[in-house]
A and B are shown apart, each in its own frame.
Chain A
Amino acid sequence: MRILVCVKRVPAPGSRINVSDDGQAVDTAHLGFTTSPHEECAVEEAVQIAEKHDGEVTVLTLGPAEAEEQLRYAASVGAHKLLLIPITGVDWDPQRTASALTTAISDIEAADGTFDLVLFGNESADAGGFQVGIRVAHALERPVVNGIKGIDLADGTASARREIDGGFEVYEVPMPAVLGIKEGINLPRYPTMKGRLASKKAEVSATAVEAVAGGQARVRLHRPLEQVSETVILGTGPEAAPAVVDLLEELGVLS
Chain B
Amino acid sequence: MSEFPNRANVVVIGAGIVGSCLVGHLARLGWTDIVLLDKGPLPNPGGSTGHASNFIFPVDHNKEMALLGEQSADQFRDMELSVDCGGIEVARTEERMEELRRRMTSAKAWGIEAHLLSPAEVRELVPFVNDDVILGGFYCPTVSVVDSLETGTTMRREAIETAGCQVFANTEVLDIETAEGAGGVTTVSTVVTDKGTISTEYVVIACGVWSNRLANMAGATIPLVPTVHQMADVGPIDILAETNNEIGYPIVRDMDSFCYERQSAGSMEVGSYGHRAILHHPDEIPSNEEAALSPTEMPFTPDDFDEQMEQAIELMDMLGEAEIRYAINGLLSLTPDSMPCLGETTEVRNLWSAAAVWVKEGPGMAQVVAEWMTYGYPRVIDVHGADIARFYEGERSDEHIWSRADESFIKTYGIVHPQEQWGGRRNIDVGPYFSRQQDLDATFFQARTWERPQWFGSNADLVERYGLEERPVEWDNRWWSPITVGEHLNLRENCGLVDLSAFQIYELEGPGAVAFADRLAVNKIDVAVGRSIYTPWLTPDGGFHSDLTMMRMGEDRVRIVTGVFDGGRDEFWVRKYMPTDGSVTFRNITRQVTTLGLWGPNAPAVLGQLTDQDLSQDGSSYGSIIPIQLDCGGNKVDASLFRISYVGDTGWEVYTDWGNGPVLWDAVMAAGADLGVRPTGGGVYGSSGRLEKGYRLMGAELESEYNPLEAGLARPKVKAADFIGKEAYLAAREQGDPEVQMSVLTVEDQTDSHGRRRFMQGGNEPILTPDGNRIVDSHGRASRVTSAGFGPSVGKHLLMAYLPRELAVPGTDLQVMYMNDLYPVKVASTGAVFDADDTRMKS
| Interface of A toward B, CB cutoff 8 Å | 12-16, 18, 29-33, 69, 189-194, 196-197, 200, 233
Contacts and interface: CB of A to CB of B under 8 A. Distances in A.
Contact of A191 (B288, B290, B323): B323
Contact of A14 (B286, B312, B324): B286
Given A29-B284, A30-B291, A197-B313, 15 more contacts: A13-B290, A13-B292, A14-B289, A30-B284, A30-B285, A31-B286, A32-B300, A33-B299, A192-B320, A193-B324, A196-B302, A196-B306, A197-B306, A200-B306, A233-B1
B306 A192 contact: no
B321 A192 contact: yes
Nearest to B328: A32
Interface string B391-426: 000000000000000000000000000000000000
Given A31-B299, A233-B1, A196 B289 contact: no
Contacts of A29: 284
B292 A197 contact: no
A200 B286 CA distance: 29
Given A15-B289, A16-B287, A30-B286, A194 B320 contact: yes
B292 A14 contact: yes
A30 B287 CA distance: 9
A14 B321 contact: no
Given A30-B286, A32-B299, A190 B309 contact: no
Contacts of B717: none
A17 to B, nearest CB: 8
B320 A14 contact: no
Interface in B289-342: 289-293, 298-300, 302, 306, 309-310, 312-313, 319-325
Given A12-B299, A193-B312, A200-B306, A30 B323 contact: no
B234 A193 contact: yes
A18 B300 CA distance: 20
Interface string B271-295: 0000000000000111111111100
A190 B322 CA distance: 9
Given A13-B292, A31-B292, A32-B292, A194 B287 contact: no
Given A30-B284, A200-B306, A193 B320 contact: yes
B306 to A, nearest CB: 6
22 contacts: A13-B290, A14-B288, A14-B289, A14-B290, A18-B290, A30-B285, A30-B291, A30-B298, A32-B299, A69-B302, A189-B323, A190-B323, A191-B323, A191-B324, A192-B234, A192-B324, A193-B319, A193-B321, A196-B309, A196-B324, A197-B313, A200-B306
Given A30-B284, A191-B323, A233-B1, A16 B290 contact: yes
Nearest to B232: A193
A193 B322 contact: yes
Contacts of B312: 193
Contacts of A32: 292, 298-300
From A31, A191, A193, name the one whose CB has the most chain B CB atoms within 10 angstroms. Answer: A193
From A16, A191, A196, name the one whose CB has the most chain B CB atoms within 10 angstroms. Answer: A196
Contacts of A196: 302, 306, 309, 324
B290 A190 contact: no
Contacts of B298: 30, 32
A29 B309 CA distance: 27
A245 B128 CA distance: 58
Nearest to B299: A32
A192 B322 contact: yes
A14 B300 CA distance: 15
Contacts of A15: 289-290
Contacts of A193: 234, 309, 312-313, 319-322, 324
Nearest to B170: A231
Contacts of B292: 12-14, 31-32
Nearest to B293: A14
A119 B287 CA distance: 36
Nearest to B280: A30
Contacts of B323: 189-192
A200 B288 CA distance: 32
- Which 9 A-B residue pairs are closest in the complex by CB-CB distance? A32-B299, A190-B323, A30-B286, A16-B289, A194-B320, A14-B291, A14-B290, A14-B292, A12-B292
Nearest to A18: B290
Contact of A197 (B234, B293, B310): B310
A11 to B, nearest CB: 9
From A12, A14, A16, A200, name the one whose CB has the most chain B CB atoms within 10 angstroms. Answer: A14
Contacts of B1: 233
A67 to B, nearest CB: 14
B290 A30 contact: yes
Contacts of A33: 299
A18 B292 CA distance: 12
A12 B320 CA distance: 26
A190 B324 CA distance: 6
B327 to A, nearest CB: 9
Nearest to A27: B290
Contacts of B313: 193-194, 197
A14 B285 CA distance: 13
